[in-house]
Structure 1
Amino acid sequence: AISFLRRIVPCRYYVYYWNKIIRRCLFSGEQRKALLVFDEMRRLGWVPDEYTYPFVFKACGDLSLLTTGVSVHALALVFGYAASNVFVGNAAIAMYGRCGEYSRAHQLFDEMLMLGVFDTVSWNSIISVYVQIGECKRAFQMFQEMVSYRDADLQADAVSLVNILPACASLRSKRSGKEIHGFAMRRGLVEDMFVGNAIVDMYSKCGFLNEAQHVFDRMEVKDVVSWNALVTGYAQFGRFDDALGFFRSMKENNIALNVVTWSAVISSYAQRGLGNEALDVFRDMIASGSRPNSVTLISVLSGCAAVGALAQGKETHCCAFKQFLNLIGNDPGDEMMVINGLIDMYAKCKNFRVARAVFDSIQTKHRSVVTWTVMIGGYAQHGDSSDALMLLSEMVSDKRRLMPNGFTISCALVACARLGALRLGKEIHGYALRRRYGEAMQFISNCLIDMYTKSGDVDGARAVFDGMKPKNVVSWTSMMTGYGLHGRADEVLQLFNLMTAAGLPVDGVTFVVVLYACSHSGMVDRGLDYFNNMEKDFGVVPEVEHYACMADLLGRAGRLDDAVDLIRDMPMEPNAVVWVALLSGCRLHGNVELAEHAARKLLELNFENDGLYTLLSNIYARARRWKDVARIRASMKHSGIRKRPGCSWVQGKKGTAAFYAGDRSHPMSKQIYDRLEELMRDIRIMGYVPETEFALHDVDEEEKGDLLAEHSEKLALAYGILTTAQGVPIRITKNLRVCGDCHTAMGYISRIVEHQVIVRDASRFHHFKDGECSCKGYW
């Protein structure tokens, strides 16, 4: 056809054929070819007409070629079109909107309005522009101006409603949406399938799912978009069973599933932590020939992370690379979201080498705050918290000058909490106060409470709690948890009473905190009372975690027979946590026979880790059953299970120092051991006798005493005394449960040094002062 047109003299009559060729290119998705045809037409001397420009403007808009679009608009002006021609003007408005030149779009619309050259499409185009840029209130104002305009020829149509309803959804404005819905009903437009879909989508995104369902049920004609609007709405607002039910109905009704449907269902499973189910649906999607988009891939990666499915995560990475990443024409924003999802997945699967490699592969200038936050959060929650804080320091350095958002700050506070890094936590607290994070401050404050309590400063946590306005349930629970960790059960119960008096809802998590506090403070009767009445008084049905707390409470109190009866009468199968609680009680009270029973139950549950073997080995060692100790160690070696070495770290003037048992690698090692020897000599004079049952080796008593003196927590304390100013608390963190002998020794040492000694172990805090410990023996 083009060859034919090249051979004839340009004339107005044959312009129709050029327009037809350009339109065909557009309909087949060949926008660039459409522009090349237009260039050829102009080069051969043909003059475009009013029907040519709309097609060319659409091609420019689809490709976001603003410069080309401006040139074509100038050409249209030269030939007397654009503002003076409603078809050309409407197309130019739409083009400028798609290219992001919203001010030019509005300027052109105003010119057409002044010239009286406009129609419904003109208004629809400018309203669509405002919706695109997120100016939804302005879009709604324009729609109201349009419907109130006194012109019989200007009537809002189905396209008008399809344009404005997403604005109502973005504003979460049910009132505005209902007004549009009523308008559609009065104009008889609600029967239009596209309008019906838009109404269902609006109600779904506003969270009014029953209304959405009602409109959907009344629609006579539906397509996959109609079904997707409800499926995604149910998934977005946590009604996952309804979402999956609709998905099954779509299959039963032979509705063609598209990428939106698959993505919504995969997201439903992933958000519930059902990663394997999410992966199964993803496989079905690939088998059906549907191609995933960024939302699909992010949901699949979330599912992989939920169940630690690293192998499947790697497969998804390959799929992302082949089908999405680095492909011409993809939205860079979508690509970055997928990359962030990959970093998050690898971090949650604890493959930090690859997570960091993906992070480092992004050019520094292209790393968004979200990308930094995902990497920092991965280190903070699943890896080395020190790396998280180093990365935060790099992020806010003068070289980067990126401002962390509320989530970044929260991740950094989690890292400080894990390390017990109180000093740095306080610095981050000050930074957050200076930056004023607005609505995010409630979430940040909850993290501050957690950081202060886990860093040993429960009073600092209470100061944050008291200064919060408003507080949510998480705030109350975090503060109660903090008091529980520090053995201050009276404050836990006091806060619980204040919380219920304020009318705040209590849930299963709240009662876990209350029962934990009672268990670790010896309040057996109070704990039993709360457990027995939680359903009757608060409507909270005891779950397996509550039974675990009660097994721990009874076991610590020496009521092992009652703990066994409780476990036997549980309405559900006891899990590993319940049997570990019983096993811990057996260790405290030396019941070897019951400990072996609990251990067998744990092995039946495939609960094999170093903690189980170590606990059982300790029980045998305290009973001096050395052959059984050797048998446990041989079993660990055969199974490839290695005992985690005990490590203690302490903050001093010269930074944080970490120690292992018998560690002599520190530069101050000689001074540390000399000071420790002095301390041990002084407390022996005071009456301290090494508790050699905690030296889990079959050697003589004197050698056991020497081994105990070199435990990591004692070395950390000696270093703390050497490097901490008089009167300043010494804060020690241990990765395992503190040794019983070290606990006794620290009580003595706290009587002869001018420091409060605060030790955080794997389960709680111990505050030593003047020979007393805050745990009062319940630990």
Structure 2
Amino acid sequence: MRRLEWVPDGYTYPYVFKACGDLSSLLAGASVHALALVSGYTNCNVFVDNAAVAMYGRCGSANQAQQLFDEMLERGVFDTISWNSIISVYVHIGEGRRALRMFEKMVSTGDISIRADAVSLVNVLPACASVKSWRRGMEIHAYAIRRGLLDDIFVGNAIVDMYAKCGLMDEAKNVFDRMEVKDVVSWNALVTGYSQTGYFDGALGLFESMREKGIELNVVTWSAVIAAYAQRGLGYEALDVFREMIVSGSQPNAVTLVSVLSGCAAYGALDQGKETHCCVVKQFLNLEGNDPGDEMMVINGLIDMYAKCKSTVKARAMFDSIESKDKSVVTWTVMIGGYAQHGEEASDALVLLSQMVSDEYKMMPNGFTISSALVACARIGALRVGREIHAYSLRNRYDDAIVFISNCLIDMYSKSGDVDAARAVFDSLAEKNAVSWTSIMTGYGLHGRGEEALEIFDGMRKARLKIDGVTFVVVLYACSHSGRVDEGINYFQNMKKDFGVAPEIEHYACMVDLLGRGGRLDEAVDLIKDMSMEPTPIIWVALLSACRVHGNVELGEHAVNRLLELNFENDGLYTLLSNIYASARRWKDVSRVRLLMKRAGIKKRPGCSWVQGKKGTATFYVGDKSHPMAKDIYNLLDDLIHRIKKMGYLPETAFALHDVDDEEKGDLLLEHSEKLALAYGILTTASGVPIRITKNLRVCGDCHTAFTYISRIIDHEVVLRDTSRFHHFKNGSCSCNGYW
């Protein structure tokens, strides 16, 4: 137009400014603005000036937009649209509070020609939502009623959306119900609000209402419903809705795909996750006009899905394929979190965290990264690394995630053998939530400190925090592992009456375990018979474990038969039964069980123990002679066993599970992995420093007895963590007091 020497006028410039804003081209916009100034079409033409204000805002230059608007005010060349333009600038750049201040100035000018209209409200209501200022939103809602603007569908939708994003779903639903005219945006606002605030049933119910009324479903609705299913852990339902969405011809966006991948991850649905990956490649990645940030969000979702579906090799391959400059803190965090969830790979999470903060990458972890790393430490009992991460978090002040990180610290210290450090973290918290109380109570339960666990429970009650089913699982577990049978029975019998918590299958399993450990097997059987629901495998496993402790062969066989009827087969089941037969010296039955395992293709997991040392962690398997210090380890064990035999130790040969003479069984017991780990710990740990051992199975009964004796002749506390609990051996006694 300019090449042809046509002169732009006041009608031309607003369209060109809009184009510059659409392209976010500040350079082009400023050039056009300069031309408009030279041509005399600004500072006198309110339409051109309003368009210029909007352009600067959309190009991210709020200061220039504000300067131009202030000049308009000084000259008195402004109108309602001018105010709407500057308000929308601040909403666009996420400055909700400044947008609200500009709206206040607008309605308080006293100029009767300047009155907030429907566009004003549609602009400012998202600002209320962004800063969660529901009180201001209510005032604007009242203003809309007074001015008769509520009949405008755009205003109604904005009010519904504002209340929903502020978490006031009842108010949002009331406005929605009173709207005489609704469109798909109205429905989307409410469905999304229900989904994002955790009212999943409300979201799904509204979705069904839309279907019944024949209202067409767009990507926002689909995404909200998929997210609602995924966040409830209903992965397959989320996938079904996603497939329905694709069939309908609706194009998924980043939010949709991340929600679907989240559903796959929650359910461990790897095959469906792979299907979604194919859909991502075909229908989303590398499409023209895609936001690079959205693409990375989906790629992060894929890494998270593969990791949580135990396909960490694929997840790591995707992670490594991303260029370093494109990896955000979220990318690093989902990979670290994926490793942390799997015990056998938790150490990889810590290696990755070390790389993340190294001089090569210099990436600053966020609160979720720190928490994921602490979960990894808890998985493998990496106390030293956990302490380093704790120190790092203190130096870098993660104030916005302090409670979340502190709860992970409590869990890490508890599961790494230092429950006193966990208590120190708990006591230091100025603000504690239910997870904080439950975490420290769980820690005390793991360490057999039932009295302290119940003191925490009393403190939780006095703090008037919600006592739910999870809390009572922890309480009953603590009672079981500290021999507080009668107290546990009392809590179980009164949990419904005093707290409104109905017993679930997990509570019954805890009670069977509690009664069984206490030798009250008849009461445990009666409890199972009186259950208001069908017993699941967790019930029979608890009973079978009690039968092993007390050598009740007949009842143990009954529990095994019930488990087999429920198609429950694993190596632990057969190991427990073998132990029961071995204790009764029924070697033919031991052989029969092993034959059954072989026919079923079930292999017994080899015992494995690892012990922390100055140079990292040393791992030992049963009969392990591969360690460079193997000769010294076995020589020390021979000496220790010889010394404790003089003190009264007798090898418990039933735990050797072989029909050979007792002398040979004693030699087999010597090779158990926890004994090898203990000897290594004694050889490499400074005097007086605790030796920390972790075992992948339940500690052997003979090893438990041997450790108790050995703790009388060494200058170390031995902290042993098995799959059930912690054992602290010191001065000839164990913290479990026989309840393990």
Q: 1:727 aligns with which of 688, 701, 704?
A: 688
Distance in 2 between residues matched to 1:377 and 1:549, nearest whole Å: 30
Q: 1:183 aligns with which of 125, 139, 143?
A: 143
1:57 maps to which residue? 17
User: Does 1:381 pair with 2:381?
Assistant: no
Q: Is the 8 A contact 1:654 1:723 kept in 2?
A: no
**Which digits, 9 at most, give the CA deviation of each residue in 1:694-749, with x for residues without a partner?**
01223332221111101100000000000001111111111110001100110111
Distance in 1 between residues matched to 2:135 and 2:292, nearest whole Å: 35
Q: 1:172 aligns with which of 111, 132, 149?
A: 132
1:716 maps to which residue? 677
1:349 maps to which residue? 309
Cα 1:753–1:281 shift into 2, 3 Å: same
Structure 1 letter corresponding to 2:189: A
2:421 maps to which residue? 460
* Secondary structure, counterpart of 1:81 in structure 2: coil
Matched ranges for 1:261-660 at <5 A? 261-382=221-342, 384-660=345-621
* Secondary structure, counterpart of 1:659 in structure 2: strand
Distance in 1 between residues matched to 2:563 and 2:92, nearest whole Å: 57
Percent sequence identity over aligned pairs: 75
User: Does 1:153 pair with 2:113?
Assistant: yes
TM-score by length of 1: 0.93
Distance in 2 between residues matched to 1:631 and 1:47, nearest whole Å: 99
Cα 1:447–1:82 shift into 2, 3 Å: same
* Secondary structure, counterpart of 1:657 in structure 2: strand
Distance in 2 between residues matched to 1:403 and 1:459, nearest whole Å: 30
Cα 1:52–1:595 shift into 2, 3 Å: same
Cα 1:50–1:637 shift into 2, 3 Å: farther
1:16 maps to which residue? none
Q: 1:248 aligns with which of 195, 199, 208?
A: 208
2:197 maps to which residue? 237
Distance in 1 between residues matched to 2:68 and 2:288, nearest whole Å: 32
Distance in 2 between residues matched to 1:277 and 1:70, nearest whole Å: 51
Alpha-carbon offset, residue 114 of structure 1: 2.4
The gaps in structure 2 that reach 5 residues or longer are: none
* Secondary structure, counterpart of 1:84 in structure 2: coil
Q: 1:68 aligns with which of 6, 14, 28?
A: 28
Cα 1:589–1:91 shift into 2, 3 Å: same
Distance in 2 between residues matched to 1:107 and 1:611, nearest whole Å: 73
The gaps in structure 1 that reach 5 residues or longer are: 1-40
* Secondary structure, counterpart of 1:733 in structure 2: strand
Which stretch of the first structure deviates more once superposed, 615-624 or 479-488? Answer: 615-624
Alpha-carbon offset, residue 477 of structure 1: 1.2
Distance in 2 between residues matched to 1:339 and 1:510, nearest whole Å: 37
Distance in 1 between residues matched to 2:587 and 2:172, nearest whole Å: 69
Alpha-carbon offset, residue 83 of structure 1: 3.7
**Which digits, 9 at most, give the CA deviation of each residue in 1:116-173, with x for residues without a partner?**
2222222111101101122111101111111222333322111110000011111111
Q: Is the 8 A contact 1:586 1:592 kept in 2?
A: yes
Distance in 1 between residues matched to 2:286 and 2:168, nearest whole Å: 39
Distance in 2 between residues matched to 1:310 and 1:640, nearest whole Å: 24
Q: Is the 8 A contact 1:193 1:221 kept in 2?
A: yes
**Which digits, 9 at most, give the CA deviation of each residue in 1:194-238, with x for residues without a partner?**
000001111111111111111111111100111111111111121
1:20 maps to which residue? none
* Secondary structure, counterpart of 1:50 in structure 2: coil
* Secondary structure, counterpart of 2:149 in structure 1: coil
* Secondary structure, counterpart of 1:755 in structure 2: coil
How many residues are paired up?
Answer: 739
**Which digits, 9 at most, give the CA deviation of each residue in 1:547-570, with x for residues without a partner?**
000010111122222111111111
**Which digits, 9 at most, give the CA deviation of each residue in 1:436-487, with x for residues without a partner?**
2113111111111111111111111111112211222211111111111111
**Which digits, 9 at most, give the CA deviation of each residue in 1:95-127, with x for residues without a partner?**
222221222222222222223222222211110
Distance in 1 between residues matched to 2:447 and 2:236, nearest whole Å: 39
TM-score by length of 2: 0.97
User: Does 1:743 pair with 2:708?
Assistant: no
Distance in 2 between residues matched to 1:358 and 1:83, nearest whole Å: 54
Distance in 1 between residues matched to 2:615 and 2:241, nearest whole Å: 54
Alpha-carbon offset, residue 356 of structure 1: 0.7
Q: Is the 8 A contact 1:60 1:68 kept in 2?
A: yes
Alpha-carbon offset, residue 764 of structure 1: 0.4
1:201 maps to which residue? 161
Alpha-carbon offset, residue 499 of structure 1: 2.2
Alpha-carbon offset, residue 77 of structure 1: 2.3
Alpha-carbon offset, residue 642 of structure 1: 2.6
Distance in 1 between residues matched to 2:515 and 2:656, nearest whole Å: 27
Distance in 2 between residues matched to 1:316 and 1:636, nearest whole Å: 38
Distance in 1 between residues matched to 2:221 and 2:564, nearest whole Å: 42
Alpha-carbon offset, residue 600 of structure 1: 2.6
Which stretch of the first structure deviates more once superposed, 316-325 or 145-154? Answer: 145-154
Distance in 1 between residues matched to 2:727 and 2:354, nearest whole Å: 31
* Secondary structure, counterpart of 1:326 in structure 2: coil
